[in-house]
Amino acid sequence: MPFSPDTIAELNLLSQFESSSGQAGIKVHKSGASPETVQAAERLFAKGLITRDDGGYLTPMGSEAVELTQKLQSILTT
Amino acid sequence: MTLKHSVGALLVTASFMLVGPLHAEPADSTVDELKRETRELGETLQKYGADQKDQAEDSINRALTALDERIAELEEELSENWDDMSSVARERSQESLASLREQRERVQAWYNELKASSASAWERAKKGFSDAYDALSEQWSETERDLTLDQEKRNQSI
């Protein structure tokens, strides 16, 4: 099953977190970010992966998702 | 894409050192004690293994309960001083307390994860909790500083 554009946007947003530890948060500026990114943030928030609908911090599940995203990226790029 | 990376991690111990002198008065001894306990929890938590889950939960419960009480006190202080504060000070204090509540919620999410974690997931959950707890401690110090600075300014203007 191919990744949908929505899923890819969510993966891209998750990859913006510097690490899965969640020490640093991110902010998606609705005025400047692409609509895809803004909507991806809203979906990740609705799924319980981040603490705010415009970014915030990773939740425990979001932290796990970032770890898996990083692993997948590492596998695919080596 | 305009993603702005927000606050990075600072050493909690460093933030305590920065804040320390502002709370040297006897009236702040309870706060100092709480800061010490908070710092100690961060340190001792690292030593707990999965087989010491109950002890870890007891320590965390005590620390979070004390911290919640202090947050409630800060909110009460803000409410009491509200009429004497400038609009800038009000906004800054509200934002600071909102950040503190956000960090507290984040710690609770990781605490729930820690309590539910299996032995194999313990270290990962503990790391997540510790990071969130460090960020909460740091934000707490900032909020104490924000509210103290405002109090000092008002005292000087009287």
**Residues B29-73 pLDDT 10s:** 777 888 888 888 888 888 888 899 899 999 999 999 999 999 999
- CA B86, CA B90: separation in Å to the nearest integer? 6
DSSP string, A17-30: SS-TT--S-EEE-T
Residue B6 has its nearest CB partner, among A25, A32, A63, at A25
pLDDT over 80 (residue B9): no
Q: Would you call B1 and A37 a contact, using CB atoms and an 8 Å cutoff?
A: yes
Task: Give B108's contacts in chain A (Cβ within 8 Å).
Answer: none
Q: Where are the beta strands (DSSP E) in chain B?
A: 3-5
Q: Which positions in chain B touch A16 (Cβ < 8 Å)?
A: 3
**Across chain B, what does the average pLDDT equal?**
80
List CB contacts (< 8 A) between B113 and chain A: 60
**Maximum distance among all alpha carbons in chain B?**
59
Look at residue B26 and tell me whether its pLDDT is greater than 50. no
pLDDT of B157 reads 63
| Per-residue model confidence (pLDDT) at position B156 | 66
Nearest-by-Cβ selection for B4 from A27, A56, A59? A27
How confident is the model at residue A22, as a pLDDT? Answer: 64
SS3 content of chain A, % helix, strand, coil (to 5): 50, 15, 35
Chain B residues in contact with A22 by the CB 8 A cut-off are 106, 128, 131-132
* Helix or strand run (H / E) with residue A11: helix A5-14
pLDDT of residue B58: 92
* ipTM exceeding the 0.90 mark: no
SS3 category, A57: strand
Per residue in A35-73, pLDDT (tens digit) is 999 999 999 999 999 999 999 999 999 999 999 999 999
- d(CA B128, CA A38) in angstroms, rounded, equals 26
Of A22, A26, A59, the CB nearest to B3: A26
> Do the beta carbons of residue B150 and residue B22 sit within 8 Å?
no
